[in-house]
Amino acid sequence: MIGGEKYQGEGDTMVPPATIRKAALCVTAFLSLGVATTRAQTKPDIPVGTDSPVIGTWELVSLTWSTPDGRAVQPWGDATGRITYDSNGNVVALLMHERRNESQSGSRAAPETLSQYSAYFGTYRVDAANGIVIHQVTGSLNGENASGELRRTYSFEDGRLVLGFTTIRDSVPITRRLVWKRISSPPAK
Q: What's this model's pTM, rounded to 2 decimal places?
A: 0.67
pLDDT tens figures, 22-63: 544 443 444 444 444 434 443 444 454 667 889 999 999 999
Q: Is residue 1 part of a domain?
A: no
Q: Is residue 6 part of a domain?
A: no
pLDDT of residue 125: 94
Q: Is residue 117 part of a domain?
A: yes
Number of domains in the chain: 1
HEC string for the chain: CECCECCECCCCCCECHHHHHHHHHHHHHHHHHHHHHHHHCCCCCCCCCCCCCCCEEEEEEEEEEECCCCCEECCCCCCEEEEEECCCCEEEEEEECCCCCHHHHCCCCCHHHHCCEEEEEEEEEEEHHHCEEEEEEEEECCHHHCCEEEEEEEEEECCEEEEEEEEEECCEEEEEEEEEEECCCCCCC
Q: Is residue 158 part of a domain?
A: yes
Q: Is residue 170 part of a domain?
A: yes
What is the span of the domain harbouring residue 50? 45-182
Q: Is residue 26 part of a domain?
A: no
Q: What is the CATH number of the domain that holds 105?
A: 2.40.128.280
What tens-digit pLDDT sequence spans the chain (189 residues)? 344 433 333 344 443 445 444 544 443 444 444 444 434 443 444 454 667 889 999 999 999 989 888 888 877 677 889 999 999 999 999 988 765 555 555 666 555 545 677 889 999 999 999 999 999 999 988 766 667 899 999 999 999 999 999 988 889 898 999 999 999 876 676
